[in-house]
């Protein structure tokens, strides 16, 4: 299935969930109509604004070539190799070590890195991370991830409103057109796991594909393997806080080490990703340095 078909399927699934929640809570035909309208507006809005929402969620700020010349040169070099237009460059004011890409297509893409990742990764490892994010742009994964995260956020917000209003709204068993108390309860329960639904809906193979794309773009899979190992260790100590619905955007699960994150992770395990990169290394004319990868 192509990325475009996966995007449509994911949006349909999320939209159906949004409509179902509206039906449960509001009840009757009016609930379905409101749900359809809300789903349509959210889809349209997130299609064009999801990149801005994702960047705002992590408080990312744009930087100029004068502010970050080394980072700009690295991205320009990789974009030239990949025949990509230059994306917007953003820095997230956090000591957590992470990165993400967003945007509906390569012409409207952005790459964001945290202050923390700039501080801890050497140049070759940072290049591997940037190449990973650019591969997401090439594969248009950024659209799927960002739009899904935006709709998931809308579902969570709706459920949160319901949980607050439930305390003040009287319910009657005879009022068939009114809010359904069982629907309200289910909605409140669904709220904490809505982001997890998104994480599970987004294929883990996207991360493997982006890792492989980075390895080919840099011709240095081992550098990315070392970066992933380093990022995994730091994510356990300094997570990157934001709406959990945006977790699939990141190169590393920022909730690493937590029970629910391990059970419903949006990313393959770091060990599996490293092993895939080391296997790919045998197939490429490796040019990188010979630093070992190991615990």
Residue pair 143/5 in contact by the 8 Å Cβ criterion = no
Catalytic position from the list 107, 123, 127, 133: 133
Torsion angle of alpha carbons 196, 258, 91, 71, nearest 10°?
A: -110
As given in the structure block, the two tokens for residue 39 are 């789903």
CA distances from 68 to 62, 65, 90, 193 (A): 10, 5, 10, 38
CA 44, CA 226: separation in Å to the nearest integer?
39
Is residue 133 part of the annotated active site? The answer reads yes
How many other CB atoms sit within 10 Å of the CB of residue 111?
26
99-102 and 61-62: which strand pairing? unpaired
CA 154, CA 169: separation in Å to the nearest integer?
22
CA distances from 39 to 46, 66, 73, 129, 152 (A): 10, 42, 41, 34, 11
Cβ-based neighbours of 151, under 8 Å, separated by 6 or more: 11, 14, 15, 18, 39, 42, 43, 46, 198
End-to-end CA distance of the chain: 36
Residues in the chain: 295
CA 129, CA 215: separation in Å to the nearest integer?
10
Tokens 């699939």 belong to residue: 248
Residues with a known catalytic role: 133
């Amino acid at each position: 299935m192509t990325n475009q078909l996966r995007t449509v399927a994911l949006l349909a699934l999320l939209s159906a969930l949004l409509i179902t929640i509206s039906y449960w809570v509001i009840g009757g035909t009016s609930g379905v109509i409101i749900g359809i309208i809300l789903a349509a507006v959210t889809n349209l809005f997130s299609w064009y604004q999801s990149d801005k929402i994702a960047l705002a969620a992590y408080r990312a700020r744009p930087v100029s070539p004068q502010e970050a010349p080394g980072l700009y040169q690295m991205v320009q070099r990789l974009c030239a190799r990949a025949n990509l237009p230059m994306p917007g460059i953003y820095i997230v004011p956090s000591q957590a070590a992470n990165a993400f890409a967003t945007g509906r297509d390569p012409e409207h893409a952005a790459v964001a890195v945290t202050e923390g990742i700039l501080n801890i990764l050497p140049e070759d490892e940072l290049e591997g991370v940037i190449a990973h994010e650019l591969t997401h742009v090439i594969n248009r994964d950024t659209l799927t991830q960002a739009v899904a995260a935006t709709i998931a956020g809308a579902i969570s917000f709706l459920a949160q409103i319901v949980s607050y209003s439930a305390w003040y709204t009287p319910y009657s068993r005879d009022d068939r057109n009114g809010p359904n108390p069982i629907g309200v309860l289910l909605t409140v329960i669904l709220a904490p796991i809505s982001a997890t639904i998104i994480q599970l809906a987004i294929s883990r193979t996207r991360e493997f594909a982006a890792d492989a794309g980075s390895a080919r773009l840099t011709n240095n899979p081992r550098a990315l393997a070392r970066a992933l190992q380093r990022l995994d260790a730091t994510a356990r100590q300094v997570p990157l806080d934001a709406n959990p619905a945006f977790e699939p955007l990141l190169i590393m699960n920022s909730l690493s080490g937590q029970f629910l994150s391990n059970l419903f992770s949006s990313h393959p395990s770091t060990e599996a990703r490293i092993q895939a990169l080391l296997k790919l290394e045998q197939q490429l004319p490796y040019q990188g340095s010979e630093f070992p990868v190991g615990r």
